[in-house]
Amino acid sequence: MATATETDAMRRAVALSARALGDTAPNPVVGCVILDTSGAVVGEGWHRRAGGPHAEVHALTAAGPLARGGTALVTLEPCNHTGRTGPCAQALIEAGIARVVFAVADPSPTAAGGAATLRAAGVEVESGLLAAEAEAVNVAWLTSARKGRPFVRWKYGATLDGRIAAADGTSRWITSAESRSDVHRLRAEADAVVVGSGTLIADDPHLAVRGIEGATQPLRVVVDTRARIAPTAPVLDDTAPTLVAVGKDADTAHLPGVDTVRLPYAADGAGLDISALLAELHARGVRSVLLEGGPTLAGAFVAAGAVDTVTAYLAPALLGAGKAALAEAGIGTIADALRLDVTDVTRLGPDLRVTAVPTVPTATAPDEES
């Protein structure tokens, strides 16, 4: 049974793991705290970037010989495989750690098994401490590992009557500066930002992170079935990488040097196949997607069962007419409505940010190797 000291240390490890959100794909975010034999903190660490040392290695390095006989608190089960770095379970054993407490079991087939390796070496192992908190921080990677596709957060800004643009098409600015700043935080935490060609033509967005020093720029993804994007579009500048997803027979002659991928059409012929898009992004190492719209693309994601979280920025304004936040989503009757569980409501300036998750499991893509 974990002690109060260990619980405090795990809470610190969870906070450390969050520092690397958006920086570690295709790896998870992980934090680790080492306690010596007296229960004092002697080492801390978090996984900072894919290919670099894991959280346990950073913490063990900081602890040095004081780790021997001590306890390691880790937000994710220590890995048990050799990739670009060695297995963390073995590193803990070699450092002489006597006890390991981790929050969440590793669901990936390649890295799981660290707990068994530790126990076989005589290390005391406990799991589940602050599991909900650790899972919340690492939800994107855990979702991708379990479903074989990236985690998808659909974000939109709207008036209280659900309009994302006025009747004349104007939409700047419905939400406040505080809300727009928070969107850049979400971009910085995502591996990819996805928009459709309608949003691109209407708003000509840049989609890069601004105002967050040191942020890793996400992959900008434009879903443009007929390749209507202009080669001078701001989203194609060199601020961040960009991928343009087009239909299999689209003419891309006007986009020399632009990273494009040809995808199959959706079964109904309207737009691209969402599962194919997510499979392509997953293959490129994307583990978290921020879907920024518009309503047609959002509807396609909802219809495909590919929305894991909804974040709505609601402005205290009414329009009465104009574009709705969500278009056709394959829902024909109230009984089929996608019901959501509100997990957070926060005031940002004059706006409300509402975060909600589906109350029933969303559809999963075919199993893929993580």
Burial-class residue 302 by CB neighbours within 10 Å (0-12, 13-18, 19+).
buried
To 10 degrees, what angle do helices 55-63 and 4-18 make? 120
**Which contacts qualify for 266-269: CB closer than 8 Å, 24 or more apart?**
266/300
The token pair at 340 is 């959501």
Annotation says 56 is catalytic: yes
Q: Out of 6, 56, 133, 280, which one is annotated catalytic?
A: 56
Q: Which amino acid is at 161?
A: D
CA atoms within 13 A on the CB side of 312: 23
CA distance 297 to 118: 46
Which stretches of the chain are DSSP H helices?
4-18, 55-63, 88-94, 114-120, 131-137, 139-147, 177-189, 197-203, 274-283, 295-303
Helix/strand/coil for 86: coil
Tell me the C-alpha to C-alpha distance, in Å, between residue 87 and each of 70, 174, 228, 285, 369.
Answer: 19, 49, 47, 20, 19
Burial-class residue 306 by CB neighbours within 10 Å (0-12, 13-18, 19+).
buried
| 296 and 33 Cβ atoms separated by less than 8 Å | no
Q: Which residues, other chains included, contact 253 with Cβ-Cβ below 8 Å and sequence gap of 6+?
A: none
CA distance 326 to 343: 20
**Phi, psi of 224, deg, nearest 5:** -130, 80
| 45 and 62 Cβ atoms separated by less than 8 Å | yes
The residues annotated with a catalytic role in the active site are: 56
